[in-house]
Amino acid sequence: MTTTISAKTYSNYINNEWVETASGKTFASINPANKKIHGYTQSSTNEELNQAVEAAYNAKKGWRKIGQSARGQLLFKTANILEENLNDIAESMTKEMGKTLPEAKGETARGIAILRYYAGEGMRKDGDVIPSSDKDALMFTKRTPLGVVGVITPWNFPVAIPIWKIAPALVYGNTIVFKPASEASVTASKVVECFAQAGFPAGVFNFVTGSGSVVGQGLIDHPKLNAITFTGSESVGQSVAKSASARGIKFQLEMGGKNPVIVTKNANIDQAVEGVISGAFRSSGQKCTATSRVIVEEKVFDEFKQKLIKESSKITIGDGLEEGIWLGPCASEGQFNTFKKYIKKGNQEGANLVHGGEVLTGDKYDKGYFVTPAIFDEVTTEMDIAQDEIFGPVIALIKARDLEDAIELANNTKYGLSASIFTSDINSILEFIDEIEVGLVRINAESAGVELQAPFGGMKASSSGSREQGEAAKDFYTAIKTVFIKGS
């Protein structure tokens, strides 16, 4: 039995205090399954943002000085508190953005694991000894924090993405100002409560909710910010890069993808179908690593298509809190309208809608943003449905002559985040690894899948080039000092 979460109002968290905006304005978070209000958060102004940045700026020296081990221990405490609240936070996620409850629980558990991974960084090395040409000298490198880091996160992973940015930023000695997507700010507030209970020093962790145009842009442009990490749309990411570059501060961008899966003539077709459905349709396709294009060698194209349609027709759709539901609603009215727009566009472009693409109606669905996953075939790479990031449950099936043609088709996009191939041929695997233009390569597995201990990021328009997660996070959140010591 699930518990009812009241539509309460959540505040900003600044300098270890819960603070309401001076404007007195709030905004509602809407449950996409029934359009009911899930909760309210602050529609903050630049006044609250400035307070948060000032608090982080004033706290950065003291936070750096307490040492990496002590910082790691606070992350361990946060992980334990988050674990105690796993069910409540997961339920909030389902009610706020439509992810099924099992997926939401899995994401929250992943957030706990990320916290514990980076807590362990508190006892790992932060530099290297380097031989000096002077035999009487000692030379080594030392990592030093950047200072105040701005964290801007999307709505589709409201627990995992903020934590995989915040945890390394904190353990490596930075203070932060966290701005979540408005559509997932209630769930973000619940995560912030866990950090607040862990007992971080005043000003180290700050949280401000509000519009991207006010709080987000104000954070990006703030003169006391030393770095910004952002996950979201390409257009906003370009704005982040422009502002950060102009001021000479460090920036990190993850901006989505148009992720291909290649199915070769010697693939295990059943395995490929299972991987494509999971990669394309879980979370209603609202993942930056979701499968969007499926490029199939012509020899097995018809067999693959028929099995894909058959298995897709078995997907159960409904409120993500219901047991046995495979797919929840689109996360918001905006995503719902985007889905409908691209179904219409695909038909206008001449693609053939062979499955789904419907808006569900009836008592169970009328109050929410429910759709059936869509499959198009007869798709060419010039079509918008083969080039644009739809961020919804839509597959574009593309026929290829052979592996070389398939890889060329896969690379025909401005994005380069993730890609997968299904094949039993080792030569095909090796060629795919070398030739595909993405940051995450997966073999005989769905395109959507990121492990917390491994570097994550894309190529081309998907990324600014830096990597998140694992040990790679240290490269972004710290600067290297080279130290040379010689006795008098």
For this structure, is 17 an active site residue?
Answer: no
Catalytic residue among 254, 297, 389, 468: 254
Assess contact for 202 and 90: CB atoms under 8 A. Answer: no
Question: Measured between alpha carbons, how far is 274 from 270 in angstroms, rounded to an integer?
Answer: 6
**Strand boundaries in 193-248, DSSP class E:** 205-207, 227-231
Token duo for residue 428: 């095909």
Assess contact for 107 and 99: CB atoms under 8 A. Answer: yes
Assess contact for 420 and 274: CB atoms under 8 A. Answer: no
Pair type for strands 459-460 and 415-416 = antiparallel
Token duo for residue 338: 């985007």
Residues paired with 129 in a beta bridge: 140
Q: How many helices (H) and strands (E) does the chain have?
A: 14, 22
Closest CA to 87 of 116, 111, 108: 108
In this structure, which amino acid lies at residue 63?
Answer: W
Residues 6-31 as b or e (16 or more Cβ within 10 Å = b) = eeeebbbbbbbeebebeeeebbebbb
Residue with tokens 């918001």, as numbered in its chain: 332
Termini Cα distance of the chain: 72
The residues annotated with a catalytic role in the active site are 254
